[in-house]
Amino acid sequence: MKPIRPLVTSDQIESFEADGAVVIPGLFADWVSVIEAGIERNMRDPGPYASESVSAGAPGSFFDDYCNWQRIPEFREMVDHSPAAEAAARLMRSEIAQFFHDHVLVKEPGTQKPTPWHQDSPYYFVDGEQTVSFWIPIDPVKEATLRLIAGSHRWPKPVLPVRWLNDATFYDASDDYLPVPDPDADLSLRVVEWPLEPGDAVAFHYKTVHGARGNLASRRRRVLSLRWVGDDARYAERPGRTSPPYPGHGMQPGQRLREDWFPVIRPMTAR
Ligand SMILES: O=C(O)CCC(=O)C(=O)O
């Protein structure tokens, strides 16, 4: 009998805790066609938050859209039935995996636009140490892969969030943040990045600083990110409209995210 391999090994959990990021080869290998169909449906029928981050006249396209899982059946399937919830709970060492949102990120061939270095948590209305996103490419990626600054999830202050289109400050109040780092110039920062195959995943903490190069390859770079929180996550206010905004959510600082909008999955085998 073949031994049963755990979804996420102890070594992977320890790397995730130490670096704020870890690669999990093949985690979604059986889900590539589902994700592909979902991305295609999403791009054919974008939602209200769909956005293009390449300026008019510049080469290529960087499409992103999020919060579509309730209307895109393939994404709902990923939330309910893929290994994501169980792997998230294990990585966060959490009883629960609560789904925050889906995010599609497609860089067409010939796109020079890099994804700016950023942390996700300053854009989000959630605080907590138990957080994880899975960045799942469905095309092979090398240079256009996700790049992350190891250990940045433990930095003492958040990094200034910026707008992807033009690098403008995301909130008016910008004093409480560290400047956006440039790890290609500051060699004291250690960048981790991996060439990936379709269905591999990079799991990373919401506070891990990350970015990506443009896509100068001859093939598309289609990615689905699935974002989760754990037991300690609480609603937090930010100095302006967050991304995603979720208008009318009605939550107060310190409350858990409402379960009717952010479903809680209790993976039976997670601990
Ligand atoms: O795909 C990219 O270029 C950036 C992805 C990202 O920022 C994320 O998934 O949080």
Please state at what angle helix 84-92 crosses helix 73-81, rounded to 10 degrees: 50
The set of protein residues with a Cβ atom below 6 angstroms from ligand 1 is 103, 105, 115, 120, 133, 135, 146, 210, 212, 223, 225
Cα(126) to centroid(ligand 1), Å: 18
89 and 137 Cβ atoms separated by less than 8 Å: no
pLDDT at 2: 60
Contact 230, 97 (CB under 8 A): yes
As a whole number of angstroms, the distance between CA 225 and CA 129 comes to 19
What distance in angstroms lies between residue 250's CA and the mean position of ligand 1's atoms?
Answer: 28
Q: At what angle do helices 32-44 and 73-81 cross, to 10 degrees?
A: 140
For every one of its 271 residues, what pLDDT tens digit does the chain have, with 9 covering 90 and above?
666 678 999 999 999 999 999 999 999 999 999 999 999 999 999 999 999 999 999 999 999 999 999 999 999 999 999 999 999 999 999 999 999 999 999 999 999 999 999 999 999 999 999 999 999 999 999 999 999 999 999 999 999 998 988 888 888 776 789 999 999 999 999 999 999 999 999 999 999 999 999 999 999 999 999 999 999 999 999 999 999 999 999 999 999 999 999 999 977 554 4
pLDDT in tens, 7-22: 999 999 999 999 999 9
The DSSP-derived string for 179-192 is: PPP-TTT-TTSPEE
Contact 149, 208 (CB under 8 A): yes
Give, for ligand 1, the residue of 67, 115, 139 to mutate: max count of ligand atoms closer than 8 Å to Cβ: 115
